[in-house]
Structure 1
Amino acid sequence: MREEQQHPLLLHPNNPNNMVDGRITNTDDLIGGERKTWDELKKIWKIAGPSIFCRFAMFSLTIITQSLAGHLSDLDLAAFSIATTFLISISFGFLRFLQSQLKMAIIAWSSAVSLGVHAIISWLFVYKLGVGIVGTALTLDFSWWLSVFIMYGYVLYGGCPKTWNGFSWLAFTDLWDFFKLALASGVMVLLENVYYRLLVIASGDAGSSHVDVDALSICVTLFGWESMVPLGILAATGVRVAIELGAGNVSGAKFAAKVCMLTSLIIGMIFSSLVLAIPDKLAMIFTPNSSVISVVRKLAYLLAPTIFLNSIPPVLLGVAVGSGWQALAAYINIGSYYLVGFPLGIFIGRVLNFGYMGIWAGMLGGSVIQILLLAIVAVTYGWEKEVQKARGKHILMDKAVDD
């Protein structure tokens, strides 16, 4: 194949018009660039697809356990939901963010083995052996560890030859720099994940009945389940923005962010519509209690806009990860959620006596503020300056190699 017919993966910064096959591709407009948008979508879903499947599969372990607990009794559902609220949010919000994108396929595969085994063992323990809620917790632990050992064995025995050469002290090289980067990114996503789970704790502490707590926990679980999609898009956004900025292609980074945002908004709209259309059927996954189902039906009018709004921040946070201002994003999350949204929710819910729906409404206000602040930073961020920094680092590295 002739050189001029080849399509480069990244566009060169010295090509001001970014010409490919005689076409100008440096535009970051979605309208009129259908082919470019389609190409970008393929790149995004190559990253986001396995990530979403993996997260869905692992989160479904909790879904299965919670649904079994709910069909045992309403009190078991409330107890299990409160007990796992922070544990699950911490693992998915912090530890899962540190996983590598290089072998996401095997992570997804191991999650789907674990999920199948968990479903069978949970059914056996609960319905055949009658071990109750303690049995459901034990099967959840077993399934989590099964996934860990499958992934560990795959890496240890040659599954990642390009990234794993065995145990070495070299693993501690530049560990502090990695830790700082990972900590900022992990805390940023952790604060995002924990936020709405506080709703269950705050409502239970406010004296809500176990029926209300059950309904809220179902809504928060459905919200968390759907959040696996935008979290996967967050990972894809971060990778795509980082790659384009690293190549000096500011326009390409902005275009990737726009395509990710459009994709996430469409998916959020679909899931929001689904919640409004069939809240009863979604609630029946977790409980047969008609009283709980009725409360879930009422809460669907808050759950739907929450899901839609949640489709926006992950893309903006992905931009933060890809362009290096995740520490600022973490501060924005702290201010929006925990200095404004949660106190506002407590004020509306408890002081003004609007109950758990008032708490939820106030927390939605915190989400709106977070979106506005992240959008302002993303729009005003010095993309070109970041590219110049990257170029300066590359020049220094090239000089070091030449010397």
Structure 2
Amino acid sequence: MAMDGGDKAALLEKHHHLQVEENSWVNESKRLWKISGPAIFTYICQYSLGALTQVFTGQVGEIELAAVSVENSVIAGLAFGVMLGMGSALETLCGQAYGAGQLRMLGIYMQRSWVILLTTSLFLLPLYIFAPPILTLFGESPEISRAAGKFALLMIPQLFAYAINFPIQKFLQSQRKLMAMAWISAAVLVQHTFFSWLLILKLEWGLTGAAITLNASWWLIVLLQLLYIFITKSDGAWSGFSWLAFQDLFSFVKLSLASAIMLCLEFWYLMVIIVIAGHLDNPVIPVDAISICMNINGWDAMISIGFNAAISVRVSNELGAGNARAAKFSVVVVSLTTIIIGVICTSIVIATRDVFPYFFTSSEAVAKETTRLSFLLALTVLLNGLQPVLSGVAVGAGWQAIVAYINIGSYYIVGLPLGIVLGFVFDFGAMGIWGGMIGGIVLQTLILIGIVATRNWDKEASEAESRVNKWGGSVANH
């Protein structure tokens, strides 16, 4: 049957519309990978510093592995969460200012963030100094608490490196200058691997060697990134140190605190599993096994955090430029991309469950327990696909305070009590603790999906514009 002119036109129109959609999808994917690719690589390299230190100390002995694992996961993990959270206020502000074309504000924002984060470091110092009694209070065994406390004291320089590093990262990230960060992180990781082997295993300096290498590596990253900014001037975003860094600090602290609470509640949630596992019978084996799983989960989470960074940059840039539709489309593309990656990573964990524990430990008992927990690890990895991306959308749009409340409800009112009941009342041990907490992550993910799907994006774009104008006025007038 022959087509009339109207049918032909409609078919051509439909074909053209599909082509435009396909092109938009491809273009948006390219934009996202251009940001997320180097970001994932950078985060994996930086996360691997602590993870490799665990691998090398695991070859020394069970108590050394437990000490580094607990310090890395609990003490440094707590500080990392606070610092990354406080620094992530810059993702909203720098991203939206960059989208609005107000470059000079970025350098001022970074300096404000340094002032706030260095002050925060001083408040976090007691956590490192009094680590043994704090860990014992949380129920960690005295032997593990003493060893982790000794290591925590040696790791104080890392705390101050975090304070300088995270604002630098957000500053460079919002301008999409991610390749410089990637190259620096890769170079530092190579030297870190060599010196970890040399100091921990070859020279047998144990925990002291681990601390020297880890501190030096973090400070090397900070110094090289600073050199890059000072030399290149970052296309005008860096115009030198300024007293403006001390203006509008109260508003900045408010957003920084909301960001910190939101992110810390996520970071600490999985960290709590290790602390609660310390209450189980013969805690060294479950603590080591969960630490190994968290290590693997951490590496996978770096992929999600890379996409979290990408979607945060895309959403904040587009909202800052007033493009609500582009921001919304970006959310759809990144969500589907990360779900696919989550499925692939989950399959890898299940396929290698009998092999990967031996990279971290020579203890048969620890390896067996790790393999037993690997199915819960696989489920957590699957959830890693979407959940951090939705948090990235929240940061890009400036919804940190809303997400903080959702995290309190999902994680600490539902997930944590459920984990304790399953682990201790129903006697499922480490599997019960972790299983209950996965329930909290599922609940949080479902609520975030609902919020992202029902948000008025045009309203978000106008709010971004007023935020840039409000905090940019004092800079623009100087």
TM-score, normalised via structure 1 length: 0.85
Letter in 2 for 1:55: Y
Map of 1:43-62 to 2, 5 A cutoff?
43-62=31-50
Checking the alignment, whether the CA contact within 8 Å between 1:125 and 1:131 is kept in structure 2 is: yes
Residue 351 (structure 1) aligned with residue 425 (structure 2) = yes
Counterpart-to-counterpart distance in 2, 1:205 and 1:394: 49
Change (3 A) 1:76 1:307: same
For this pair of structures, how many residues does the alignment match?
376
Counterpart-to-counterpart distance in 1, 2:63 and 2:468: 59
Map of 1:3-402 to 2, 5 A cutoff?
33-96=21-84, 97=88, 98=167, 99=169, 100=171, 101=173, 102=175, 103-390=177-464
How far does the alpha carbon of each residue in 1:286-318 deviate from its partner, in whole angstroms, 9 at most, with x for none? 112222222111111110011101221112112
Counterpart-to-counterpart distance in 1, 2:22 and 2:28: 10
Counterpart-to-counterpart distance in 2, 1:89 and 1:104: 24
**Residue 81 of structure 1: how far off its partner (Å):** 0.6
Counterpart-to-counterpart distance in 1, 2:282 and 2:424: 11
Checking the alignment, whether the CA contact within 8 Å between 2:60 and 2:201 is kept in structure 1 is: no
**Residue 115 of structure 1: how far off its partner (Å):** 0.9
Change (3 A) 1:216 1:152: same
Q: Which moved more, 1:359-368 or 1:156-165?
A: 156-165
Counterpart-to-counterpart distance in 2, 1:316 and 1:172: 32
Instruction: Give the share of equivalent positions with the same residue, in percent.
Output: 43
Counterpart-to-counterpart distance in 2, 1:136 and 1:145: 15
Checking the alignment, whether the CA contact within 8 Å between 2:233 and 2:239 is kept in structure 1 is: no
SS of residue paired to 1:370: helix
Counterpart-to-counterpart distance in 2, 1:143 and 1:95: 18
Q: Which moved more, 1:284-293 or 1:149-158?
A: 149-158
Checking the alignment, whether the CA contact within 8 Å between 1:204 and 1:213 is kept in structure 2 is: yes
Change (3 A) 1:396 1:226: closer
**Residue 346 of structure 1: how far off its partner (Å):** 0.8
Counterpart-to-counterpart distance in 2, 1:288 and 1:139: 23
Counterpart-to-counterpart distance in 1, 2:432 and 2:423: 4
Counterpart-to-counterpart distance in 2, 1:364 and 1:147: 34
Q: Which moved more, 1:362-371 or 1:177-186?
A: 177-186
Structure 2 gap segments, 5+ residues each: 1-11, 89-166
**Residue 41 of structure 1: how far off its partner (Å):** 0.8
Counterpart-to-counterpart distance in 1, 2:265 and 2:464: 29
Checking the alignment, whether the CA contact within 8 Å between 2:325 and 2:457 is kept in structure 1 is: no
1:11: which partner in 2?
none
SS of residue paired to 1:33: helix
Change (3 A) 1:32 1:285: farther
**Residue 159 of structure 1: how far off its partner (Å):** 4.8
How far does the alpha carbon of each residue in 1:357-402 deviate from its partner, in whole angstroms, 9 at most, with x for none? 11111101111111121112212222232234456779999xxx9x
1:16: which partner in 2?
none
**Residue 226 of structure 1: how far off its partner (Å):** 1.0
Change (3 A) 1:272 1:190: same
How far does the alpha carbon of each residue in 1:249-293 deviate from its partner, in whole angstroms, 9 at most, with x for none? 333222110111111111111111110000233212211222222
SS of residue paired to 1:346: helix
How far does the alpha carbon of each residue in 1:178-225 deviate from its partner, in whole angstroms, 9 at most, with x for none? 332233223322221221121111101233432222111100111111
SS of residue paired to 1:140: helix
**Residue 158 of structure 1: how far off its partner (Å):** 4.0
Letter in 2 for 1:42: K
Counterpart-to-counterpart distance in 2, 1:390 and 1:143: 37
Counterpart-to-counterpart distance in 1, 2:178 and 2:470: 33
SS of residue paired to 2:239: coil
Structure 1 gap segments, 5+ residues each: 1-21
Larger relative contact order, structure 1 or 2 (CA cutoff 8 Å, min sep 6): 2
Q: Which moved more, 1:153-162 or 1:218-227?
A: 153-162
Give me the CA root mean square deviation: 2.8
Counterpart-to-counterpart distance in 2, 1:194 and 1:224: 13
**Residue 156 of structure 1: how far off its partner (Å):** 3.2
Q: Which moved more, 1:266-275 or 1:243-252?
A: 243-252
**Residue 329 of structure 1: how far off its partner (Å):** 0.6
Checking the alignment, whether the CA contact within 8 Å between 1:269 and 1:308 is kept in structure 2 is: yes
Checking the alignment, whether the CA contact within 8 Å between 1:89 and 1:190 is kept in structure 2 is: no
How far does the alpha carbon of each residue in 1:147-194 deviate from its partner, in whole angstroms, 9 at most, with x for none? 222222333344535222221112223333333223322332222122
